[in-house]
A and B are shown apart, each in its own frame.
Chain A
Amino acid sequence: MNTFLTRMRNRPETGSFLGFIVFFIIFSIFGDHFFTLGNQTSLFTLTSELGIICIGVGFLMISGEFDLSVGSVYALGGIVFMMLSPHMHSLLALLFVMIIAAAIGWFNGYITTKHLIPSFLVTLSMMLIIRGLIYMITSGRITSHKGDSFVSTFFSVKMSGLPGFLSDFRPSHLWFVGLLILFHYILFNTRYGNHVFATGVNQPAAVRMGLNTDWIKTKNFMISSCFAALAGIIAVSRFRMGSPTIGLGMELEVIAAAVIGGISLYGGTGAIIGILFSAFLICMIRNGLLLMGAPPYWYSGFVGVIVLISTIVNIKLQPRKTKF
């Protein structure tokens, strides 16, 4: 039993799981309508969009870098997709957006690794550049989605054709869970996952072992950007509109979710599966507080307190050698 508890404690996702369970129970007991299928699927929709970005950012953080540009890439992905989709098949528009996002990720990686500039600064600059670009190309105006519904059917709209309770779910839920499992597998069961850990734990040692750590990091930057753009496409195709301000401040939510999910801010440790619980936790806090009847001006404060508690619990559960 002790061995089991010790093993659980040493797993990076345990903290986020416990935090999730505690608050889920509290909200389920005290929040009207919290524990209903409709509310849970709504929350899982938000979780999926946030979580998809977290997977990419999580991989990058494990390899020892940050990406603050994800909020802007999320917006750019959505806006460019909406602008392109009236002129071409939406799947083609999605592919174009992915190419753009990959290029942004590559650029972030190139500048960070080749010019040895901290990724914090590179991606902060990229965040501002892209946001400015969005304002320029939209002239600040709201964009409506007028293209075909192929991509929205496969990513975001409710699966109303399915029987019973299944009709409340969306494809984005499946995409999120699928990507989560896939990247969890890659991280722990493939050579690339090992290389990501090695790069984050001790880059000079990894280089001496013959790893091309610059390219590993650059690939992770590209994954991070592509996932952010994909989440943006999912969000805008869900609402069929996008304003140039979407995704503002999202990078902080993403990093908070990754850290609560057990990924070290210093790189080298973490688990992708914890993101499932941490992203859900972040998305459910405001909803849960509201359904519990908390006063409207208290939400942000509560959110901050709960995120802080969750992070502290998570850190306390980690082995002493782990830093956050």
Chain B
Amino acid sequence: MKFFLCFLTLLISLTFTTFVSAKEFTIYYVVHGGITHPAWLANKAGVDEAAGMLDDAKVVYIGPEVYKLEEFINYVQTAVDAQPDAIVTTMTAPDAMVPVLQPFADKGGVIVEINTGQACPDSLNCLTYVGYDPYESGVNAANKMVEMATARGITLKESLYPNHAPGAVHIEEWGRGFMEQSVKLGLKTGQVDVTASEYTGADIILAYKKKNPDVDFIYNISIPQVSTVMTRFEEEGITGVYQGTFDFTADMVKEIAKDETVWFTQDQQMYIQGFQGIMAAYLNLKHQFILPPAITTIGFTTPENAMDMFESVEAGVR
């Protein structure tokens, strides 16, 4: 037993020693995740690609496996405690993050915001922003929904925004954009808390549909839930309900290409957010460059161009 414990301790020490290498810059990349979500996997691929190009920078990617605000804040604190040169992070809960990040910012640490819609408080003096604009993404999705319905000769009556992370600033803004624009476009609309479980969420959406039979479009931003909703609706024989989503999985790209019930997905280019987030921090540390904010959500993937995306989705960069 003693031998086993000694061996284990030695092994762990050696493992960690290999991570510690002398690099000029240290950049922590902290995301709210969950890092097991397909979108964040693509994001990490971008971070890894950038890190692989930089010989003089050590990049550490951390975040909770599933979205949990308090765990995320703890990760941000860990990053600050590690005293890196730069922190690239999602500004998921600015009020909660300021007390953690302010000392780092006050010491001149570089902060780059990604993904959360330019929510960085002034006091943190964030260098730049790379990512989508949640409110605008919601607005654009509502516009696309009506545009595609019109092209198909369908008059939509009511839209639904399933919310899988109530309280997350960007998720709330996203929904607000979608729902406000839906109303402007003449649709009834609503949202429902679907929990973080795709299985439970599918049945909650099914119940919502029973309560609100006019619902004919679901803007399901959690892509795994699109599949579970399709399965449940199919089982219940419910037709005439269409979905739009966000990000990619290979199965979903094929589903969109069929041009049946899933009309579009929005490409927020998570890979670019990862790659450019690291590069923005690095170039500032190295040469004091300031990259202008970059909005990465520029397009929709629809039945017309779905298969064009397939290869990059399979490669894990979308």
Known contacts A144-B251, A240-B231, A244-B36; decide if A291 and B207 are in contact (CB<8 Å): yes
Asked if B211 and A140 sit within 8 Å, CB to CB, the answer is no
Which single residue of chain B is at the shortest CB-CB distance from A138?
B36
Q: Which residues of A contact B236 (CB under 8 A)?
A: 38, 42
Asked if A297 and B193 sit within 8 Å, CB to CB, the answer is yes
Residue in B166, B202, B227, B251 whose CB lies within 8 Å of A297: B166
Asked if B211 and A131 sit within 8 Å, CB to CB, the answer is no
Asked if B231 and A290 sit within 8 Å, CB to CB, the answer is no
Per-position 1/0 for B189-227, Cβ under 8 A of A: 011110011111011101110110000000000001001
Which single residue of chain B is at the shortest CB-CB distance from A158?
B235
Asked if B228 and A239 sit within 8 Å, CB to CB, the answer is yes
Contacts A46-B203, A140-B37, A142-B38 known; 13 new A-B pairs at CB < 8 A = A135-B65, A138-B36, A141-B41, A239-B199, A241-B227, A244-B65, A245-B34, A245-B36, A246-B199, A290-B192, A291-B210, A296-B166, A296-B192
Q: Which residues of B contact A245 (CB under 8 A)?
A: 34, 36, 65-66, 196-197
Which single residue of chain B is at the shortest CB-CB distance from A287?
B207
| Separation of A246 and B34 alpha carbons in the complex (Å) | 13
Does residue B50 face the partner (Cβ distance < 8 Å to A)?
A: no
Chain A proximity of B245: nearest CB distance (Å): 13
Known contacts A46-B203, A246-B197; decide if A142 and B249 are in contact (CB<8 Å): yes
Main secondary structure of the interface of B (DSSP, over half): helix
Known contacts A248-B197, A296-B191, A300-B193; decide if A140 and B224 are in contact (CB<8 Å): no
Which single residue of chain A is at the shortest CB-CB distance from B249?
A142
Asked if B231 and A293 sit within 8 Å, CB to CB, the answer is no
Does residue B35 face the partner (Cβ distance < 8 Å to A)?
A: yes
Asked if A140 and B192 sit within 8 Å, CB to CB, the answer is no
Chain B proximity of A178: nearest CB distance (Å): 22
Residues in A131-179 with C-beta less than 8 Å from chain B = 131, 135, 138-142, 144, 158
Asked if B224 and A243 sit within 8 Å, CB to CB, the answer is yes
Does residue A28 face the partner (Cβ distance < 8 Å to B)?
A: no
| Separation of A165 and B12 alpha carbons in the complex (Å) | 59
| Separation of A38 and B34 alpha carbons in the complex (Å) | 34
Known contacts A42-B203, A235-B199, A239-B199; decide if A299 and B193 are in contact (CB<8 Å): yes
